[in-house]
């Protein structure tokens, strides 16, 4: 579950070229990635994962990318899907996929805000 310093730096540099206010924070042995205040990606085991929902998950599955499984292959999945290495190195494609992950995070945050009692 470790993330190497070199991988973390590389991915954050690539994302910083595509989205505003990229920052990261260590969490549970991995790294959470934010654009402004939206948690849209995570790094684990030197792999980048983007947040997905029912609208975006099929796109990841169509290119053979699988879900983040924090407890191994037999464990449950989370709403984050692997991002291929080719995509990380293509700034234009990365911008599109990263923005879609931010949009998913924004929608999820909006749903949580609406559910809170006033």
Query: Are 19 and 99 in contact, with CB atoms under 8 Å apart?
Result: yes
Identify whether 100 is part of a domain. no
Supply the CATH number for residue 12's domain: 3.30.1460.30
23-59: pLDDT as tens digits = 999 988 899 999 999 999 999 999 999 999 999 999 9
What domain range is 11 assigned to?
5-93
The Cβ of residue 42 has, within 10 Å, a number of other Cβ atoms equal to: 22
> In this structure, is residue 89 part of a structural domain?
yes
- Which phi and psi angles does 88 have, rounded to 5°? -60, -35
Q: Is residue 86 part of a domain?
A: yes
* Model confidence, pTM: 0.89
**pLDDT for the residue numbered 118:** 55
Split into its structural domains, the chain has a count of 1
Q: Is residue 108 part of a domain?
A: no
Does some domain include residue 113?
Answer: no
Cα–Cα nearest to 68, from 87, 52, 91: 52
Tell me the residue length of the chain.
Answer: 118
């Amino acid at each position: 579950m470790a993330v190497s310093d070199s991988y973390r730096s590389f991915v954050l540099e690539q994302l910083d070229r595509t989205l505003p206010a990229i920052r990261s924070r260590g969490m549970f042995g991995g790294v959470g990635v934010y654009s402004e205040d939206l948690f849209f990606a995570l790094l684990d085991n030197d792999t980048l994962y983007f947040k997905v929902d029912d609208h975006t998950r099929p796109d990841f599955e169509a290119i053979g990318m699988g879900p983040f499984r924090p407890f191994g292959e037999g464990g449950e999945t989370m709403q984050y899907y692997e991002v291929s290495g080719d995509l990380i190195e293509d700034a234009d494609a990365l911008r599109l996929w990263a923005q879609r992950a931010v949009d998913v995070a924004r929608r999820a945050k909006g749903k949580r805000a609406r559910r809170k009692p006033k």
